[in-house]
Amino acid sequence: MTLVLQQKVSGVLFDLDGTLVNTLKDLGNAMNTSLVAQDLATHDPEDYKKMIGGGMHRLVELASGGLGDQEQLLNGLLAAYGRRIVGDTRAYSGIHELLRWLRRSGKKTGVVSNKAHGMTVDVVARIFPEAAFKVVVGHRPPTPKKPDPTVLIEACNSIGVEPGECLFIGDTDVDMKAGRRAGLTPVGVGWGYQNEERLLNAGAARVVQSGNELIELIGYMSGADTS
């Protein structure tokens, strides 16, 4: 997909983990707690960058290498994470300022995550109590997870924006593929869990390195005031 710099931008949807918030330590600690309970090897927090993005079932599969009781591992992960869901989780630098600018410029915003729906709503409410997101949605079976485009198309409908007028901001190849398949313009962030090359190879129209750069990009595309 080619980035159309003068396209109309009416909406901006965001991934959550690795895009708006750094959840690496809390998720990693919770997964390690569950692994220890089954005498399985644990991982350093940085190792989890390669495992996050496909949802909790996928995280369990990758972290365990398929060993142990997968259902018990999942239940242990969910229990440990639920006890400390925002213990060390923080918004990335510049995100609060970005969201304030989007609100001032009249863009409709939302969050679309592969994290379980209830957890997604909980994290967003705790970290961004002031944010006026029009939609916040996590994984809700039987709706398929990203990179299936269904949830992004539904989110666009919820906020009243055509996919062609909406950006999807994410940090993984899953996000970039989902954005492309749904007809949104996918924009990668360089501060998340995957590198720029991987994002571009997955279809990112652009990769930004800061919240300010994203403000400048959206402002330039839509002719909005970035001050």
Whole-number Å distance between alpha carbons of 54 and 44: 19
* Domain edge (last residue) among 40, 57, 83: 83
Whether residue 153 is contained in a domain is answered as: yes
Q: What is the pLDDT tens value at each position of the chain, 227 positions in all?
A: 444 454 789 999 999 999 999 999 999 999 999 999 999 999 998 899 989 878 899 999 999 999 999 999 999 999 999 999 999 999 999 999 999 999 999 999 999 999 999 999 999 999 999 888 999 999 999 999 999 999 999 999 999 999 999 999 999 999 999 999 999 999 999 999 999 999 999 999 999 999 999 999 998 887 666 65
* Domain edge (last residue) among 36, 52, 83: 83
How many other CB atoms are found less than 10 A from the CB of residue 118?
12
Domains held by the chain: number = 2
134 and 43 co-located in one domain: no
Whether residue 162 is contained in a domain is answered as: yes
- pTM of the shown model: 0.92
Whether residue 1 is contained in a domain is answered as: no
In the numeric block, which tokens belong to residue 91?
A: 């918004």
Whether residue 2 is contained in a domain is answered as: no
Q: State the residue range of the domain holding 167.
A: 11-22+89-222
48 and 18 co-located in one domain: no
Q: Kindly tell me the sign of the dihedral angle through the C-alpha atoms of 61, 63, 64, 70.
A: negative
Of the candidates 57, 39, 59, which has an alpha carbon nearest to the alpha carbon of residue 49?
Answer: 59
110 and 208 co-located in one domain: yes
